[in-house]
Chain A
């Protein structure tokens, strides 16, 4: 048991427990907080894999911006305890069966195709640094980067139009 393996197993346990907590919490606010815990553990995994910039943007954008938006909407709507009804009784066992099937297939793929998982070894010092990411982003991926800005603009306009109050007719 190397220290790295112990760190991985501990964090993996926390991560899976937080995901399950998100799934089974009765209160939507608790679900959001569990999901933030999960995002932070995933950010630490990114750090272990050498993605420093991605890890920090994960915390800033996911845990910082997206989840605050979620919490804001939950509290705005007072929707903490909504959605408890269960009109289709057969849905839950079928969902668990399908989930186990998916997990089994993914595990089978991992177990039988080890050749696609080879690799690793030492990486250069600058791997995953903001400098390298920026260089790649603004040279090879410049067009997708610009398209992303249009996507964000469209999303912003869409959100404003969707939540605008209709003028009351007289």
Chain B
């Protein structure tokens, strides 16, 4: 078995790429995908630590995270569709009508 730090390091890199995606991209769908990437990186760290500590609870938590991600995607994409219907755009820089 490889050292856990390899997996945690890879998870850190993937998390950073996801965070960069949220900060750089302006398309709401891509921002959403970046959030999924960050959740996935956290899951990888969970499974790596579950293996290192021989604790299966880590994998059960990944199961819950996947469920929450599914619920989040359903509601989030419904929001994006609703916004697109009224504004005909999903560029987050253009959605500033509530700006004071």
Contacts and interface: CB of A to CB of B under 8 A. Distances in A.
Given A35-B36, A58-B66, A120-B1, A77 B90 contact: yes
A46 to B, nearest CB: 5
Interface in A88-133: 88, 91-92, 94-96, 98-99, 102-103, 106-107, 110, 114, 117-121, 123, 127-128, 132-133
Nearest to B1: A120
B84 A77 contact: yes
Contact of A65 (B51, B63, B68, B70): B70
B45 to A, nearest CB: 10
A88 B3 CA distance: 42
Contacts of A53: 59
Contact of B63 (A20, A57, A83, A156): A57
28 contacts: A4-B2, A5-B2, A12-B6, A19-B18, A22-B33, A38-B37, A39-B40, A45-B10, A50-B51, A51-B59, A57-B66, A62-B66, A66-B36, A66-B73, A70-B33, A73-B77, A74-B29, A84-B26, A84-B91, A91-B23, A94-B23, A99-B16, A120-B4, A141-B60, A148-B68, A155-B74, A158-B75, A162-B81
Given A22-B33, A31-B30, A92-B24, A70 B63 contact: no
Interface of B: 1-10, 12-21, 23-30, 32-34, 36-37, 40, 43-44, 47-48, 50-54, 56-57, 59-60, 62-64, 66-75, 77-82, 84, 89-94
A162 B3 contact: no
Nearest to B79: A162
Given A15-B10, A54-B47, A95-B23, 14 more contacts: A4-B2, A42-B14, A45-B44, A46-B44, A53-B59, A57-B63, A85-B93, A86-B26, A99-B16, A151-B68, A155-B72, A158-B74, A162-B81, A163-B78
Nearest to A149: B67
Contacts of A46: 44, 47
A49 B48 contact: yes
Contact of A23 (B34, B48, B73): B34
7 closest cross-chain pairs (CB), A and B = A83-B27, A95-B23, A119-B52, A155-B71, A106-B12, A162-B78, A159-B78
A22 B2 CA distance: 28
